[in-house]
Amino acid sequence: MKRIAWLTVASILFSGSLFAANKLKVVTTTQDLASITREVGGDRVDVTSIARGYQDPHFVEPKPSFLLLLKNADLLEVVGLELEIGWLPPLLDQCRNNNIRPGTPGYLDLSQGVEILDRPSVVNRSMGDVHPLGNPHYWLDPANAVRIAIQVRNRLAQLQPADTAYFDQHLQNFKVRINDANKRWMAQMAPYRGAKIVDYHPSLPNFAKHFGLDIVGTIEPKPGIPPSPSHTLEIINLIKTQHVKAILMEPYFDRKTPDFVAAQTGAKVVVIYPSVGGKPGLDDYFKLFDYDIDVLTKALR
């Protein structure tokens, strides 16, 4: 009897490992890519993100524990446009996984098929920490979310052709769901088209373009450079003269300067979450936008 019990346990464990082996192991650099990949891949993928939604994705520490994740990955999805340049290259060089190196089917740079804004024609470091290939925060446009999903579907189908129809169906479901959600978001934001806003870091151009917001200023004098007193005064004057109602900032930046500017101008500080997982409850791409649109429309009223 005991032998049978052991055999049963062993067979369950063994079958579990076989079942797990059928799932593609996907590692994404951000939780936004992870969320969209789960939409497309369903239960045929096992998705893990390196960066958390509440941390600045520019500054992730390339910890050895991430090497263990990457070592076993079938697919690595990256935002690209040098968002991860400060931490991903040493991980890729040390992870001992040739299947996810750039140029292989296991490496997917999703910036390749999306609409990219803010491509500078001239760039040098006197302009701050500018991304020379364009603004990497493109996932904050729901249309780009669809473009990401299409690319994910194509790559998953390439890596696991037997599940192509499954991925197609999930992609179509995602398109329908996000199209419906987008109609709702656009309707909520419709009264505020053309509203002038100030952001903390230039991470919202795609979001602003999609919803018709006008970003008239940025708390950082230059990307990656903390606010200076003189620039803060300029922003205060700008908000007063342009009647800006809201200052949008990411949760990982310090509130000191935005709060000071708000106190001087009457504008509201809105913590807008740029990524899935930015706070408890923002578990997927839809909940992220539901939340952000809600807080933004309340601030712009």
Partner 1 sequence: MTRVGLRTFSLVVLIAAPLMAQQTDGRLEQLERRLDDLSRQATEIRQELNRLKGQQPPAPAPQPQPEDLTKVEVVPAPQPAVGPLPTAAATQIPPPQALTDVQTVNNVINPAASKVFNPDTSVIGNFIGRAGQRNPFEFGSDNERPPLGFDEAEIAFQAYVDPYAKANFFFSITPGGIDLEEGYANFVTLPYDLTAKVGKMKAFFGKDNTWHTHVRPWVDQPLVIHNFFGDEGLNDTGVSVSKVIPNPWNTFLEATGEVFSGHVPDVFERRGPNDLFYNAHLKAFRDITENNNIEVGTSYARGALAGAPGGNSQFGGIDVTYRWKPLQRGLYNSFIGRLEAITNHRNDFDRNLKGFYASADYQLDRRWFAGVRVDAADRPIISTEGLAPVHFTDRGASGTITFWPSEFSQIRGQLRRTRYGDVGRSVNEFLVQLQFAIGAHGAHAF
β-sheet with 214-218: strand ranges across: 214-218, 196-199, 246-249, 268-271
Of residues 10, 63, 243, 294, which one binds partner 1 by CB under 8 A? 63
Handedness of CA 97, 103, 108, 109 (dihedral sign): positive
**How far is 25 from 21, CA to CA, in rounded Å?**
9
Residue 299 CB, nearest distance to partner 1 (Å)? 20
137 touches 116 (CB < 8 A):
no
Minimum distance, C-beta of residue 1 to partner 1, in the bound complex (Å): 29
| Distance in angstroms (rounded) separating the CA atoms of residues 129 and 127 | 7
Q: Which of 8, 11, 22, 112 binds partner 1 (CB under 8 A)?
A: 112
Binding-site member from 216, 253, 264, 297 for partner 1 (CB under 8 A): 253
Q: How far is the CB of 201 from partner 1 (least distance, A)?
A: 11
With beta carbons less than 8 A apart as the criterion, state whether 17 and 148 touch. Answer: no
Nearer to partner 1, 85 or 263 (CB): 85
Confirm or reject binding of residue 240 to partner 1 (CB under 8 A): no
User: Identity (one letter) of the amino acid at 162?
Assistant: A
Q: Which stretch binds partner 1 (CB under 8 A): 17-25, 38-46, 142-150, 238-246?
A: 142-150
For residues 142 and 289, is the Cβ–Cβ distance under 8 A?
Answer: yes
Question: By C-beta, is 243 or 279 nearer to partner 1?
Answer: 279
Question: For residues 60 and 244, which CB has a smaller minimum distance to partner 1 in the complex?
Answer: 60
Positions 256 through 285 that interact with partner 1 (CB under 8 A):
none
Number of residues that bind partner 1 (CB under 8 A): 63
Tokens encoding 62: 């390339």
Residue 167 CB burial class (10 angstroms; 0-12, 13-18, ≥19): buried
Nearer to partner 1, 25 or 155 (CB): 155
- Judged by CB under 8 A, does residue 221 bind partner 1? no
> 93 or 214: whose CB is closer to partner 1?
93
- Kindly give the interhelix angle for 142-159 and 31-41, rounded to the nearest 10 degrees: 60
3-state secondary structure of 56: coil
Q: How far are the Cα atoms of 8, 12, 154 from residue 1, in angstroms, in the given order?
A: 10, 17, 49
Is there binding between residue 251 and partner 1 (CB under 8 A)? yes
Q: Which of residues 6, 15, 123, 161 is near partner 1 by CB under 8 A?
A: 161
Question: What is the binding site for partner 1 (CB under 8 A)?
Answer: 52, 54-56, 59, 61-65, 67-68, 71, 85-87, 89-90, 93-94, 96, 98, 101, 105, 112-116, 125, 128-129, 142-143, 146-147, 150-151, 154-155, 157-158, 161, 164, 172, 175-176, 178-179, 182-183, 186-187, 190, 193, 212, 224-226, 251-254
